[in-house]
Amino acid sequence: MITIREVAERAQTSIATVSRVLNNLDGYSEQTKVKVLKAAEELGYESNAIARSMIIKKTNTIGVVFPNISSMITYEFLNGIEDVTYKNDFSVIVSYTYSQPERMMKALRTLYEKRVDGIIFTSDEVTDDYLNYLEKIDIPVVFLSTKSEKSTIPYVKVNDFAAAFDAVDYLIKNEHTNIGLIAGNPDDTIAGIPRIEGYKAALKKAGLPVREEFIRYGYDFSFNDGKSRFEDLINENPDITAVFAVSDEMASGAITAAHQMGIDIPGQISIMGYDNTMISEVAYPALTTLAQPLRKMGSEAVKLLIKMIKGDQFKEEVVLDHSVIERQSVKKRNKSES
């Protein structure tokens, strides 16, 4: 491996000077600059970031931990993250934890050992263990699509409660009154409970009853989850005319179930998704869905993180806007039919 030392020899100068010109500092003549650059070029020298990191105590690397969320969401987040890390010359180490505590702890520990400059903690429940560790290692962290009441760690999120509220409200505005919910896990304080509460709140605000039998709880926001919950839900409640599924994958699972059950979407039942991932376009009929600005969430999270790394310690909380994307899976209910 070519080192700065060899460059110095060839350029007949000292390593200090080589370091200076290579880092665009000052304190050398134009002449030596040329000599050094030439020598470096000829030797094909490339600096060793490891050695530099030892001294400057910065790695220009951040870590991102993902649980086991939808492929499309992960992808969008990562793209948004990459957009800005690229511009800021940061590298990103990604770890999938599958929401397993041991994997998460190992991932966090590894990131710390490798001395990443910051961490983006994505979409997962923040346990005390995680929080304690994050506080102990004391490096900048931002939560993406999650948060913790117990800490002051900044986050970037959508307001899940408000988003679910708006989704259900949209269904209500389309004259639906018997609205089913395919929910997340009711123990999930991040993407589970707030969306359930949003659903209930929208119903209440419209003077509609909240009927527990209209709610089905899923586990992992998956296609199969949505599919089997939908079957259950509709079989036991034939009077439902619209269902809100709290992820696009679940919603498309519901659509597939409907096809198999011979139910016309949106003719007989309207279905609304959540996320606005690519799936909502691919589904047939295309999904009307509650859009999260996934990519932007990723990029905002790194922007915030980099600010913190650079020393601006003001801890913000970024709540991004959501919106309803109208496609074909929701139809205004024809009251005369019922």
Q: Which two tokens stand for residue 334?
A: 């024809």
User: Which of 247, 252, 289, 329 touches a copy of itself (CB under 8 A)?
Assistant: 252
Is 45 one of the binding residues for a copy of itself (CB under 8 A)?
no
The entry of a copy of itself, DNA, none that residue 319 binds, CB within 5 to 8 Å by partner kind: none
Taking a C-beta distance cutoff of 8 angstroms, is the pair 70, 221 a contact?
yes
Which CB atom, from 29 or from 79, has the smaller least distance to DNA?
29
Q: Provide DSSP, 242-306.
A: EEEESSHHHHHHHHHHHHHHT--TTTT-EEEEEE--THHHHSSSPPEEEE--HHHHHHHHHHHHH
Asked if 95 is part of the footprint of a copy of itself (rule: CB under 8 A), the reply reads: yes
Q: What x/- string results for residues 25 through 64 when contact with DNA is judged by CB under 7 A?
A: xxxxx-xx------------x-xx--xx-xxx--------
Alpha-carbon Rg for the chain, nearest whole angstrom, is 26
In the complex with DNA, the residue whose CB is nearer, 2 or 286, is: 2
Q: For residue 306, which phi and psi values (nearest 5 degrees)?
A: -65, -40
Q: Tell me how far, at minimum, the Cβ of 49 lies from a copy of itself, in Å.
A: 4
C-beta of 38: minimal distance to DNA in Å?
14
Q: Which amino acid is located at 6 in the chain?
A: E
Stretch that binds a copy of itself, among 155-163, 238-246, 251-259, 301-309 (CB under 8 A): 251-259
Which residue shows structure tokens 């910065």? 58
Q: Does residue 132 bind a copy of itself (CB under 8 A)?
A: no
Reading phi first (left if > 0) and then psi (alpha if -120 to 50, else beta), residue 276 is in: left
User: Least distance from C-beta 291 to a copy of itself, angstroms?
Assistant: 16
Measured CA to CA, the distance from residue 117 to residue 134 in angstroms comes to 13
Contact 117, 78 (CB under 8 A): no
Amino acid at 75: Y
**What residue ranges bind a copy of itself (CB under 8 A)?**
44, 46-51, 53-54, 59, 61, 71-72, 74-76, 78-79, 82, 86, 89, 91-96, 103, 109-115, 136-137, 223, 249, 252, 255-256, 259, 278-279, 281-284, 286
**What residue ranges bind DNA (CB under 7 A)?**
1-5, 12-17, 19-20, 22-23, 25-29, 31-32, 45, 47-48, 51-52, 54-56
